[in-house]
């Protein structure tokens, strides 16, 4: 009987050593970046776009938005794919997928904002929601990486 107990103890020690080595290898791989490297070259966590100014005008049920967007030097090149206008309580006024950039070569709907660059852009949309001048609204821009950037202003 004594020999059986000895074999069980040896098997238990060997299993503990194997588990410890496997855990050490997994931790080493995780720390060296071999496991869990889900970041792409333009990850959404890297985009740090800022709206430096915006204005909103309304004519009937058409809202016109002008904004200046700045892309910091440590942020990747990006573009705006969606422009939205919301009341400050989060209620959507209108949204559009056509954003016009004002570049030195003229207006265009396909442009990128390079790191360290600033670009004026505009969009307009129609809505049945009515808002009078002086109403606070949020201008929301969505990048091609899915990052939302917002700016609060008042309708003029």
Same domain for 6 and 75? no
Q: Which residues pair with 139 in a beta bridge?
A: 85, 151
Same domain for 92 and 107? yes
Same domain for 76 and 101? yes
**Cα(127)–Cα(139) distance, integer angstroms:** 15
Domains identified in the chain, total number: 2
- pLDDT at position 4 is 56
Q: Say how far residue 31 (Cα) sits from the centre of its chain.
A: 26
Same domain for 32 and 48? no
Residue 48 is part of which domain span? 44-154
Given a contact cutoff of 8 angstroms between Cβ atoms, the answer to whether 45 and 125 are in contact is: no
Same domain for 109 and 55? yes
Model confidence band, residue 107 (pLDDT cutoffs 50, 70, 90)? confident
- pLDDT at position 5 is 61
Same domain for 67 and 95? yes
**Cα(91)–Cα(94) distance, integer angstroms:** 9
Nearest-CA neighbor of 97 among 135, 59, 31, 144? 144
- pLDDT at position 128 is 86
Same domain for 73 and 6? no
Same domain for 33 and 49? no
- Model's pTM, two decimal places? 0.69
For the chain, percent of residues with pLDDT exceeding 90: 35
- Inform me whether the pLDDT recorded for 33 exceeds 80: no
Q: Which residues pair with 113 in a beta bridge?
A: 78
pLDDT tens by residue, 38-50: 544 455 567 788 9
Same domain for 52 and 32? no
CATH number (domain holding residue 84): 2.60.40.10
> Left if phi > 0, otherwise alpha if psi is -120 to 50, otherwise beta: which for 90?
left
DSSP letters for 66-79 = EEEEE--TTS--B-
Same domain for 55 and 119? yes
Calculate mean pLDDT across residues 105-110: 82
Same domain for 128 and 82? yes
Same domain for 65 and 80? yes
pLDDT tens by residue, 3-13: 556 778 888 89
Model confidence band, residue 66 (pLDDT cutoffs 50, 70, 90)? very high
């Amino acid at each position: 009987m004594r020999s059986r107990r000895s074999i069980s103890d040896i098997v238990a020690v060997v299993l503990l050593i194997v588990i410890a080595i496997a855990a050490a290898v997994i931790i080493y791989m995780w720390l060296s970046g071999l496991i869990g490297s889900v970041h792409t070259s333009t990850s959404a966590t890297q985009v740090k776009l800022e709206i430096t100014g915006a204005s909103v005008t309304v004519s009937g049920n058409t809202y016109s938005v002008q904004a200046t967007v700045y892309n910091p030097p440590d942020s990747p090149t990006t573009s705006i794919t969606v422009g939205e206008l919301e009341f400050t309580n989060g209620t959507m006024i209108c949204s559009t997928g056509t954003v016009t950039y004002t570049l030195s070569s003229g207006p265009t709907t396909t442009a990128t904002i390079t790191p360290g660059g600033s670009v004026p852009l505009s969009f307009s949309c129609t809505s049945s929601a009515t808002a009078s001048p002086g109403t606070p609204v949020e201008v929301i821009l969505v990048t091609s990486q899915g990052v939302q950037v917002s700016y609060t202003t008042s309708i003029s």
